[in-house]
Structure formats: C-alpha cells, structure tokens
Amino acid sequence: MKRQGLLVAFLILCATSPLQAQAINHAEQYDACMQLVDKAPEQAFDAGLTWKGLGGGEAAEHCIATALIVMHRYETGADRLEKLADTSRRSKEFKAQILAQAAQGWFLANQVDRARAVLTTAISLDENSAELYVDRAQMRSAQHALNDALSDLNTALSLDNNNVDALVFRGTIYRLLENFDAAMSDIKRANALDPAHGEALLERGMLYRISGQNDQARKDWIAVIEIDPTSASAETARLNLEKMDVSQ
C-alpha cells in the first residue's frame, strides 16, 4: 500500500462547504488521521468515525478502512475500500488506486483469488498504471502462476522501463523459471538504477550462488544486511549465508 499519490488525491477532495471549512480543516484532519494510523490504529479508527459524522466524507472513510487493515481486520477494511471505490465520484484512475489497496487487504486475509479479481478490475479502470500490473503479478506468483506473473511484469516494464521493483520481481520470476541469464540481466539493470536496493542485492547474491560465485554472493548478502539489518531481505540474506557456510 505504498501509494504516495493517494494521500495528495484525498487532500484535494476534502473540499466542503465554506461553513464546514471554518469549523474543520479537512485536509489537516486527513493528514492527522493517517499519521495516527501507523502509531495507534484504534485511535485513528475512532477519530475517523467521529470525523466522518462531521462531514469527513471519502477522506474519513479511507482513513477508517486503512486503520482496519493495520488492525489486522483485513476483510472488513478491504470490503470498505471496495465500497468506497464503487461509490466515489473521483476519476477512474483514482478508483483503481483504492481498489489496489483493497486487493492488498484481501491478500493479507489470504483471499488471493479475491485480491487478483479486484486488481483485474482496477486494471480495467487504469490500464496505464505499471504498479497495478506489478501488484497483480504478486497475486499470480502467490498462486504459482509464474508465466502469468511474468506477463504482467512485462506489461509493467513496457509502461515504465525503469521500474526497479518490477525489474527485481521479474528477475526473481526468471530465476524460478531457471532462465538465469535473463534473471541476471534484469537484476543488474535494477542494481544500476538503485545500487542500495536490498532486494536486488539479495537476488543477485542468489544468482551468484547458483553460478558458483560464492565470494560475490557473500558480498551481496552482507551488503543487504548492512543496508537494513532489520529487513526481511536481511533475514533471508543471513539464512543464505548460514546455508552456504554449512555446505562449504
């Protein structure tokens, strides 16, 4: 749910009547509510409900639904986001972004079929968003439909050939399909675009390990740990280093 444009879009839609604007600054209220989501989602949920009763509209509903997902009430949050997209008066592209967030909620609820279907609807609303194809590739790969995931990533990169996440993801899919040359090509492109991208370094280390270049693999995995020791990529890098040391 890393969609920076979503916040700006909601701030723009927070226009109300002049009388309401004097009582509540809805743009500031939305910003405060969303900041509270990560720190205290229960409080954000309660604040969103109160604000919605005072004319918060779609922005308040988005904060409420997002808080529910952070509270691990994935299905309820995703369902509210779907309804928000359905009733919103915003553009098709805007609705597509809301549906993408709903899909992540369904995915977290282990309802991958529903998540994939929601993303397909989102893509029908905005066929030019590379991120939507990357998101659907995530769902397809979770269902072991690697060639379908590859197709989505190809489309994403045709729309944005410098999308680092898409390059890393496609490199991973190529590795799983044992197309190691294509995998390394994508990972090296991603690494050139973002040398400190932990997942790209992790993946490159795996490819080096497969080709027997253990020293290079070790350097990449150590770099992953140094970049962000608490990340999931760092944890995987540690496990890979341990396995390599045991095998040696």
**What DSSP assignment string belongs to the chain?**
---HHHHHHHHHTT---HHHHHH--HHHHHHHHHHHHHH-HHHHHHHHHHHIIIIIHHHHHHHHHHHHHHTT-HHHHHHHHHHHHHH--S-HHHHHHHHHHHHHHHHHTT-HHHHHHHHHHHHHH-TT-HHHHHHHHHHHHHTT-HHHHHHHHHHHHHH-TT-HHHHHHHHHHHHHTT-HHHHHHHHHHHHHH-TT-HHHHHHHHHHHHHTT-HHHHHHHHHHHHHH-TTSHHHHHHHHHHHHHHHH-
Segment 199-221 shows an average pLDDT of: 97
- For 128-142, what is each residue's pLDDT tens digit? 999 999 999 999 999
Share of the chain above pLDDT 70, in %: 90
Q: What is the pLDDT of residue 3?
A: 52
Mean pLDDT of the chain: 91
**pTM, full prediction:** 0.87
Is the pLDDT confidence value at 14 over 80? Answer: no
Q: Is the pLDDT of residue 210 over 90?
A: yes
Q: Set out the domains of the chain in order of their start, with CATH numbers.
A: 1-71 (no CATH), 162-248 (1.25.40.10)
Give the tens place of pLDDT for each residue, 69-83: 999 999 999 999 999
